[in-house]
């Protein structure tokens, strides 16, 4: 019987592991298919306090893992939780087809970037296609170059506004002619002299797979069906996120978009706690996820202590 199983290995998961390990709970952490989570897919992380020169995303996650393991975290590397049963305690977590019983669970499964679903998007990933302006915008390959942002929500506005620091011009491609983003963010963006909106349009292809780098996008105007090409060195896709919460659906309450609802770090099921981007569509930062991981660990520890008292 486990005391606590932590599902997910981003900042939230590793921090929850560090704190529960130091509380002598010998946590078991299941990394999922992508150990380290989304941060490992970015380049330099420049906004994590304590790393004034920035730190490679992969390296940061490796250090978090080492710190969690140093205090006794056991890690199921590459393992996947395919199913859970939270209908009664102890809970059952199925790890690589093996059912494991546990007193508490911390869900830290994160969120995935929504993709356009184009073949060229996949092939040019990290070769000019990116999902995070804060992570990649300052890279030399994007400086003083025309850039494209896809999307019309707050994220797209935030990304596009940020990119105006580096780009020669930012083309904001949106499938409608009004932005979904909050008015203040939309107004600020559209007033910027470097921003050129491309309304009622979708990206149909990212160029150029043959050159193995982004050189432009093919864009279709949805009202006229006319296709055109825009030159750019980077494509920043900001069309929302999908929280990785599907497997918890029968038991755990979420909002309409699938983000887990919580009070503090507690879910609707006593003994199941949550941390990080699978429960946060507002901040979505490495440091906030880490803070939530800490909170979830403290709550799990107190929950177990109260049961034994």
Residues with active-site annotation: 132, 135-136
Which residues sit at the interface with ligand NAP, rule CB under 6 A? 114, 116, 150-156, 158, 175-176, 180, 202, 239-241, 281-282
Closer by beta carbon to ligand NAP, 128 or else 153: 153
Closest CA to 95 of 108, 110, 85: 85
Residue 113's φ and ψ, nearest 5 degrees, are -65, 140
Half-sphere exposure of 43 (CA within 13 A, CB side): 17
Cα 171 to Cα 146: distance, rounded to the nearest angstrom: 8
CB atoms closer than 10 angstroms to residue 309: 5
For the bound state, the minimum distance from the C-beta of residue 278 to ligand NAP, rounded and expressed in Å, comes to 14
For the bound state, the minimum distance from the C-beta of residue 201 to ligand NAP, rounded and expressed in Å, comes to 9
What does each C-alpha distance from 85 to 7, 75, 211, 297 come to in angstroms? 14, 21, 48, 21
Q: Residue 84 pairs with which residues in a beta bridge?
A: 93
Closer by beta carbon to ligand NAP, 92 or else 285: 285
For the bound state, the minimum distance from the C-beta of residue 283 to ligand NAP, rounded and expressed in Å, comes to 8
For the bound state, the minimum distance from the C-beta of residue 170 to ligand NAP, rounded and expressed in Å, comes to 16
Q: Among all residues, whose Cβ is closest to ligand NAP?
A: 153
Residue with tokens 């059952």: 92
CB atoms closer than 10 angstroms to residue 246: 10
For the bound state, the minimum distance from the C-beta of residue 69 to ligand NAP, rounded and expressed in Å, comes to 33
Cα 287 to Cα 231: distance, rounded to the nearest angstrom: 35
CA 68: distance to chain centroid?
A: 21
Closer by beta carbon to ligand NAP, 29 or else 289: 289
Cα 45 to Cα 56: distance, rounded to the nearest angstrom: 6
Closer by beta carbon to ligand NAP, 88 or else 178: 178
Closer by beta carbon to ligand NAP, 280 or else 301: 280
């Amino acid at each position: 019987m486990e005391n606590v199983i932590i599902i997910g290995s981003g900042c939230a998961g590793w921090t929850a592991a560090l704190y529960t390990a130091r509380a002598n709970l010998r946590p078991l952490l299941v990394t999922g298919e992508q150990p380290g989570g989304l941060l490992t897919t970015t380049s330099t992380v420049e906004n994590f306090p304590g790393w004034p020169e920035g730190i490679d995303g992969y390296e940061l996650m490796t250090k978090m893992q080492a710190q969690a393991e140093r205090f006794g975290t056991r890690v199921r590397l590459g393992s996947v939780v395919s199913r859970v049963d939270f209908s009664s305690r102890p809970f059952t977590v199925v790890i690589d087809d093996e059912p494991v019983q546990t007193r508490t669970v911390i869900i830290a499964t994160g969120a995935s970037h929504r993709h356009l679903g184009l073949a060229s998007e996949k092939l040019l990933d990290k070769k000019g296609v990116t999902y995070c302006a804060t992570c990649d915008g300052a890279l030399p390959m994007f400086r003083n170059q025309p850039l494209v942002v896809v999307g019309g929500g707050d994220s797209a506005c935030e990304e596009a506004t940020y990119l105006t620091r580096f780009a020669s011009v930012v083309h904001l491609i949106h499938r409608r002619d009004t932005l979904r983003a909050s008015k203040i963010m939309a107004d600020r963006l559209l007033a910027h002299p470097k921003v050129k909106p491309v309304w009622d349009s979708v990206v149909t292809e990212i160029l150029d797979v043959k050159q193995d780098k982004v050189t432009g996008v093919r864009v279709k105007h949805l009202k006229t069906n006319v296709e055109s090409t825009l030159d750019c060195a980077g494509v920043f896709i900001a069309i929302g996120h999908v929280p990785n919460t599907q497997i918890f659906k029968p038991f755990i309450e979420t909002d309409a978009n699938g983000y887990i609802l919580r009070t503090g770090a507690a879910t609707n099921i006593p003994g199941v706690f949550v941390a990080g981007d699978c429960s946060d569509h507002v901040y979505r930062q490495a440091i906030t996820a880490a803070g939530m991981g800490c909170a979830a660990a403290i709550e799990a520890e107190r929950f177990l202590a109260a049961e034994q008292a």
